[in-house]
Structure 1
């Protein structure tokens, strides 16, 4: 009994240490780079006019928060990004369902969608500005277009990649089309769909950065462009860091979503290996 208790304690400590290592290790290089950057700025190796110190960026962030400009522009950027993501994601998902589940719709739509996909969506910026002006609609439209195709491609591929034997088994059990979709097709395609969501989140921020930099009067990209006019390097770096943090937060959210929605696969794999 004592040996069992000791083993359990050892396994608990080992598991805790492993979990802590997995959480801290990815941040090692970014933290070291920031420390070296601060050191280089402090001893004069790096000119503050070219690259302000991390502490200078922090001070600029605090001032922007106190003035209320950062919260305002951040909220506007988040609204544009999420609205465009929802619109583009829904359209891409519905199109993929149509082409992935119906041979007729596949013949009718897929070729056209693939041709449109090969057009760089950022190349549409001049046309979009002429259509929608420089208001919210143009930025949301660009984000939606950027998000649509990753969602479409991955959902379509996921549906088409489901094991035909599973589909035949579902039909042999006389499942209705709705039951077949929710019990076999959607679960089988889910890993690929979530991969598309993760990729689309990255495209979302990339598109928004460009859209807000070229034509905007608000948002994080506007803050960066406005700071460029005044040679305010600290604000420019602050905006870059904010975009990086937003991208990281989106990726972590997508990972958490994958882990929570694909637990059945992990459990099945563990049972199979056992």
Structure 2
């Protein structure tokens, strides 16, 4: 189609159509920025404060938030801002560690169900159904009672509650890969079982699992904070968000800042991990359906 030049005006040119820009998500950008800040605080809290999280000052007991102490002080005169910052490290570490343990355990359990034959699949899945019937926090609480308190035991306790859920995902993805045509052809050509699992089954099964693991980090941190709130997690004098919440509940009417600021920290961290994880899950789903 040719264009006709009008008198006294330059000829119009057809411009190529541009692909529509992807809609911007300010919530995702804000969550990513918050995630970067949380990571920096967990790695180097000393960059953000010069106060000691365990330094006791009897003369500064229960001081409200101000210029000297941004988040106020607790019943022993310790700076709450410093304790919240230093509490990010154990909270994030437990969330990451328990999620890593749960992913590893769920992968082994899911592959055992998918590749273990009819009876192996039945046994593993019935065990997973029994465990999933229990509330995750109750299961983690039972594990802590058996294993004992402490940061490492807390990781394993929280991980035990999430392993069956990850195992079901790995099993479903592995069954799809095992029953595909190229895997059956590889088996017919005599490909070893170990090579088949490493090259074909495992990479395809881990894709959605790693995406969901991002959301799982936030849920694991929330479970760990709940256990610490009950006194079964990280023990004093180590600052941890759940323990700080537990210590501030008795002073909520007279010193609200003791519980509000650790609670805000937990909330922001969990929401941030959920937003980033949901976005990654959405992108992975769109890519896999193309």
TM-score range normalised by the length of the shorter chain: 0.5 to 0.7
The superposition leaves residues 106-144 of structure 1 with CA deviations (integer Å, 9 ceiling, x where unpaired) of: 244332233223222322466445434433244223211
Equivalence for 1:80: 94
TM superposition shift of 1:80: 1.7
Matched, 1:237 2:248: no
Specify which structure has the higher proportion of helix: 1
Matched, 1:97 2:111: yes
TM superposition shift of 1:77: 1.1
Contact 1:121 1:142 in 2 (8 A): no
TM superposition shift of 1:221: 0.9
Matches of 1:107 and 1:268, distance apart in 2: 30
Where does the alignment leave 5 or more consecutive residues of structure 1 unmatched?
A: 29-54, 270-274
Q: After the TM superposition, which of the residue ranges 128-137 and 82-91 deviates more from structure 2?
A: 128-137
SS at match of 2:71: helix
Q: How many equivalent pairs are there?
A: 231
Matches of 1:126 and 1:253, distance apart in 2: 28
Matched, 1:201 2:217: yes
CA gap 1:177/1:246 in 2 versus in 1, 3 angstroms = same
Equivalence for 1:214: 230
Matches of 1:125 and 1:197, distance apart in 2: 18
TM-score, structure 1 length as denominator?
0.65
Matches of 2:242 and 2:122, distance apart in 1: 40
Contact 1:85 1:144 in 2 (8 A): yes
TM superposition shift of 1:66: 8.1
Matches of 1:253 and 1:97, distance apart in 2: 27
Equivalence for 1:246: 269
SS at match of 2:25: helix
TM-score, structure 2 length as denominator?
0.62
TM superposition shift of 1:75: 0.9
Contact 2:170 2:209 in 1 (8 A): yes
Matches of 1:124 and 1:258, distance apart in 2: 27
Q: Which runs of 4+ in 1 moved over 6 A?
A: 25-28, 61-66
Matched, 1:151 2:166: yes
Q: Which one of the candidate residues 247, 254, 266 is aligned to 2:287?
A: 266
Matches of 2:27 and 2:218, distance apart in 1: 22
TM superposition shift of 1:194: 3.7
Contact 1:159 1:186 in 2 (8 A): yes
Contact 2:212 2:281 in 1 (8 A): no
